[in-house]
Chain A
Amino acid sequence: MTTIEPTVSARRITWQRRRRALGLGWADYRHSVPGMIGLVVLLLIVAMALAAPILADESQLRAVDSIANPRWATPSEFHPLGTDNLGRSVWAQFVWGARISLLVGLAATLIAIVLGSAVGILAGYSGRALGAVLMRVTEWFLVIPFLPLAIVLAAVLGPSVRNVILVIGITSWPSTARLVRAQVLTLKERLYVERSRALGASSRYLMSRHILPNVSPLILASLTLTVPVAILSETTLSFLGLGDPTRASWGKMLDEAFSSGALSRGAWWYYLPPGLGIMAVVLSFVLIGQALEEILDPRLRERRA
């Protein structure tokens, strides 16, 4: 009896398969017009945020450096989006403010997703007692309305970007946890988990090799839907004055526009761009999320075939 030597290791094959799946996924994604639009818009905005130092000098953000500028100037070639009540360049605020909105949105989402997934996987996978307790705690956190909590925390801790990220992260993880747990519960019933257990696999092995890869698509889709919420939350918090007062952000622009009377003055260049910017970012994430969902949902895939 001859033994057959494997020419390629199992691990290699797994990675090859994963890369191929990714490639196919990308090919699919490219077909989705809304998905591509969302991706392009998002990349443009990210590029703009990253290129902030090139696009607008940071000094234009400071009132003290803007004394020479006219107040409430309409958009012109000197100031592409005009100036505000203190003569600061609105364009500079817009471009630099994008950084905060994106940063907070992504960072807070990351916290929420990591925390939520961890709790969700644990809750779904553990036995009844621990799982039930975790779900109870999750539900409690779900109930706490995010803004009052944020306000309280900011009042006590002081306004800062870090606190904003924390607050949004803390209030967003429960929904991810719930989703992930539901998915884990269905996965647990699947045969291959049973089989692996019969083979003597440990819980940790199961969680990392079987459950996590199968929950990942769901987590990814959930991520694209959580980011818009995080960004909108950051905007509201900054508007209420809970964000870092020293950093420009789109929410803060709206706050200043409102309190300085831009509305009654008709200074649309101050309050229109931030809102539109937020809309663009949120919409692009929603479109990306929908495109991803379509690709990852096996039922929808069947219909296209």
Chain B
Amino acid sequence: MTFRLVGLKVLGALATLAFVVVFNFFLFRVVDTDPVASLFRGRNLTAQQKVELRSQFGLDGTKLEQFGRYLQQTANLNFGRSYTSNEPVMKEIASRAWPTIALVGVSTLLSTIFGVLIGIAAAWKRGSATDYTSTGLTMATYAMPDFWLGMLLLTALAVSLGLFPVGGISDPSSDATGLAKLLDQAHHMFLPALTLTVAYLGEYALVMRSSLLETMREDYLTLARAKGLRDVVVRNHHAVPNAILPVVTLIAINFGFVLSGAIAVETIFSWPGLGLLTYDALRGPDLPLLQGLFLVFSASVIFFNLLADLLYVYLDPRVRTG
């Protein structure tokens, strides 16, 4: 029964991906019927140039032909060439993917872990100073724009105190290799990662707290206590496994926001990932690159949602067998 469930979810994810691919196409064509005109707004083009450009962007032929070509190219991961660099879009994206994966991966992990821990502490000691301070702090971080927090950290820790580099992924003047290089990169990643982590752990803490508060009212906790279990055991083995389920859903929902947040945060810290690439592509606008990035972002969110979905199935036996 589980295999069927998993299979269905994977199929669902693929269907969503298909939708996004189609949506991506229409985004550029239907929204604006003449991309060439809007692209080259303010620049005078001769009719001949317009025809050439249209052919270059694959905008000639009927919509159906364009769509067919688009599908074919997408299947081959061919998104055209970037306007600014003239390199294949996929190559650009691939070369800049790792910094973002590292940044977003580490931040998501840390914000989930710390958010959950804070939420547990706040709920279990409800009404205490721990509860109020943690709730207050998490609400504050939730309310601030993520990149603004980055700006504050940058000014305080990098500019004023000089503890961290002001930007980039590594020290351009050094030619360290191996472990030294890794440490240097980690040093550079500290502030952007800290920004994303703090910006998003608030929500996890709040959700975990309210979920745990609800769970704490359940009868099976009274039973667990009556069995003679220690308080800590009741909390960690009985309450938390039930309370954490909504958090898993939240991770999935949040991932799209974290990715979006990475765009602005990478900009602030000049972190050479996909986010900064997107920001730069905006200046053009470098449409093929943007289109490719949009697809990559959406596909990542779909994939991550699927992972979180499957994790939920694993954690909640009622979904698995019910």
Contact = CB atoms under 8 A, between A and B. Distances in A.
A and B touch in the complex (CB under 8 A): yes
Interface of A: 136, 139-140, 142-149, 151-158, 175, 228, 232, 235-236, 239-242, 251, 254, 257-258, 263-264, 266, 268, 271, 274-275, 278-279, 282-283, 286
Interface in B226-274: 253, 256-257, 259-261, 263-264, 267-268
A153 B27 contact: yes
A49 B206 CA distance: 30
Q: Name the residue in A147, A228, A242, A258 with the highest tally of chain B Cβ atoms < 10 Å from its Cβ.
A: A147
Contact of A275 (B139, B152, B267, B291): B152
A242 B278 CA distance: 12
A130 to B, nearest CB: 18
A286 B143 contact: yes
Given A239-B147, A263-B154, A263-B155, A157 B32 contact: yes
Contact of A279 (B140, B257, B261, B285): B140
A279 B199 CA distance: 12
A153 B267 CA distance: 20
Interface stretch (B105-113, B118-126, B169-177, B293-301): B293-301
Residues of B in contact with A, size category:
35 or more
B260 A254 contact: no
Interface string B1-19: 0000000000000011001
B43 to A, nearest CB: 15
B159 interface: yes
Given A152-B27, A154-B282, A239-B264, 4 more contacts: A144-B20, A145-B260, A266-B155, A282-B143
Contact of B148 (A136, A152, A264, A275): A275
A178 to B, nearest CB: 10
Contact of B285 (A136, A155, A251): A155
A285 to B, nearest CB: 9
A contacts with B: majority SS: helix
B294 A283 contact: no
B282 A286 contact: no
Given A145-B259, A151-B290, A156-B38, A279 B144 contact: yes
27 contacts: A136-B15, A143-B298, A144-B301, A146-B256, A147-B260, A147-B263, A148-B294, A149-B27, A151-B278, A151-B282, A152-B294, A153-B31, A155-B287, A155-B290, A157-B38, A236-B146, A236-B260, A236-B261, A239-B145, A239-B147, A240-B279, A254-B148, A263-B155, A271-B151, A274-B148, A279-B143, A283-B140
A162 to B, nearest CB: 14
